[in-house]
Amino acid sequence: MLNAGPPFQPDPDRVVFDRKELGLILTTYGRFVAAGEWRDYGMSFLRDAAIFSVFRRAAEHPLYRIEKRPKLRAAQGAYAVIGMDGRVLKRGHDLAPVLRVLDSKLIRPVD
């Protein structure tokens, strides 16, 4: 019998995305990948924030950052989409409406 070690224990000192949040983010990411807009992503789990960064190419700066900052939950909302230039494009208490700001970036005119 193979012993896989102790059961997984989340680090209480780090902010993470839960399964539902990650599902919403990856659904959005998949739509942009299918459209050829995004090609790579990275995740960071810090003490004060969980960050999902999306890239056009792996060697670039992120196009967008999707952040979860629980300390801002009572004020502006825990979730934010931040552009490449550092501007907050949308902030709120629920992730799904915050991610909708990216939908306008996916629609392109047909020539």
pTM of the predicted model as reported, rounded to 2 decimal places: 0.83
Token pair in block for residue 82: 């931040």
The pLDDT confidence band at residue 106, using thresholds 50, 70 and 90, is confident
Cα atoms in the 13 Å half-sphere on the side-chain side of 5: 2
Across residues 35-61, what is the average pLDDT?
90
Q: What is residue 107's predicted lDDT score, i.e. its pLDDT?
A: 64
Parallel, antiparallel, or unpaired for β 79-83 and 64-68?
antiparallel
81 Cβ contact list (under 8 Å, min separation 6): 64, 65, 66, 67, 88, 89, 90, 91, 98, 99, 101, 102
The pLDDT confidence band at residue 84, using thresholds 50, 70 and 90, is very high
Across residues 80-93, what is the average pLDDT?
95
